[in-house]
Amino acid sequence: MIRFLKLYEKFGIVIFIVLGSIFLVSVTPNFLKLDTILNILAQAAHGAIVGFGMTMALTSGGFDLSVESIMALTSVFMALLIPEIGIPLAILFSVLIGSLVGVLNGAVIAKLKVNPLITTLSTATIIKGVALLVAGGRMIVIMQKQFMAIGTGKLLGVPVPIYIMVLFFGLFYLVVYRSSFGRHVAAVGSNESAARISGLNVDLVKIGVYVLVAFASAVASVIRTSQALIGMPSMSPGFVLVVLTITILGGTSLAGGRGNLWGTLLAAIFVSMIYYGLNLINVQVFYQMLAVGLVLMLALFIEGLRVRYLQAAKAKGIKV
């Protein structure tokens, strides 16, 4: 049983993908077409990118509910800045503005010792209000159609968002698995008191984590805004649920100390597969949301069983 649970921790999401693929292939013959697969991967990009950041937040023992608001703020500023300073600078400044929200989140959580859930819920409300104020409560149409190349363009026949997703996976992989910062994040999430005693700058690690989450959210907003060609002060309602589903389903522990970046990438593809596949068979959008919510509940249920079983095994002196 312990061996099975260990295997599930690493490869559980692969089982979901295989079962989901079998179901969708059986109900729609178009599912295995190359265009369909590329569209699923492209649609997974923004969820995966934000999921990489959320993986680090959960690994550090934290949480971030402000990703939607950061995306909205970034989107609004891009729509306002593109006509004034051009596309490259507008993207740069808008992503920087979005990333500053991460500095605020990290500082409040680390320095004021406020619970991450309360902090990011509060900043989410504040930042969304700021986005609505800046936009005047309306959507802002972007007239520069060349901006769409980021979200809808193709390079060598492959959608640009896929390249961005792969690039961000590589960057976060280096941070999580090949840098001292990644090890420090896991140490803080495993035992914050021990991390402090060992000399780690826990406050700086936490601030760095939330900056990365905000940065990833801002970049995802660039993709979504490019696809819609509209600055949206109320972007992606309910998207935080999707990101949490991706991260938890991918094998990152809510208890902290353990993240799974590969799992997050595969879970993002799986969730995209659910939405895209159900859309192919004309399932209404609220049933699609219901399916994702049920998948999240199932993932949490299995994770709870896994943790309790391993804890019981440890209590009995069984090596896990």
Tell me the CB-side half-sphere exposure of residue 308, using CA atoms within 13 A.
Answer: 6
- Would you give the end-to-end CA distance of the chain in angstroms? 11
CATH number of the domain enclosing 268:
1.10.3470
Cα angle for residues 87, 90, 92 (degrees, 5° grid) = 110
Whether residue 190 is contained in a domain is answered as yes
The closest alpha carbon to 55, from 164, 177, 151, 166, belongs to 177
Residues in the chain predicted with pLDDT less than 50, given as ranges, are none
pLDDT at 126: 93
- Coil vs helix vs strand at 258: coil
183: tokens are 């090890």
Question: Which one, of 219, 296, 218, lies nearest residue 250 by Cα?
Answer: 296
Closest CA to 139 of 234, 60, 268: 234
pLDDT at residue number 10: 63
CB-based contacts of 116-125 (< 8 A; 24+ apart in sequence): 116/57, 116/62, 116/63, 116/64, 117/63, 117/65, 120/63, 120/64, 120/65, 120/66, 121/65, 121/66, 123/66, 123/69, 124/65, 124/66, 124/68, 124/69, 125/69
Task: Indicate if the alpha-carbon torsion angle 277, 244, 264, 93 is positive or negative.
Answer: positive
pLDDT for residue 228: 86
pLDDT of residue 11: 64
Q: Which residues contact 97 (CB under 8 A, 6 or more apart)?
A: 73, 74, 77, 218
Structural domain for 229, as ranges: 2-26+34-309
Among 256, 286, 288, CA closest to 272: 288
Q: What are the tens digits of pLDDT across the range 251-304?
A: 887 777 788 899 899 999 988 888 887 787 777 777 777 877 787 787 777 767
In a domain, 262, yes or no: yes
Give 25-59 pLDDT, tens digit per residue.
887 777 778 888 898 899 899 999 999 999 999 99
pLDDT at residue 7, as a whole number: 63
Indicate the number of domains in the chain.
Answer: 1
Residue 15 lies in a domain: yes
In a domain, 216, yes or no: yes
Q: What does the alpha-carbon distance between residue 37 and residue 30 come to, in Å, rounded to a whole number?
A: 10
Whole-angstrom distance, CA of residue 141 vs CA of residue 119: 32
Beta bridge partners of 155: 158
Alpha-carbon distance of 234 to 39, in angstroms, equals: 24
User: Comparing C-alpha atoms, which of 280, 276, 240, 220 is closest to residue 41?
Assistant: 276
pLDDT at 59: 92
Q: E-strand spans in the chain?
A: 140-141, 154-155, 158-159, 230-231
pLDDT on residue 174: 94
Distance between CA 149 and CA 129 in Å, rounded? 29
Q: How far lies 112's CA from each of 64, 207, 291, in Å?
A: 16, 12, 38
The answer to whether position 315 is within a domain reads no
Q: Running DSSP on this structure, what letter comes out for residue 66?
A: -
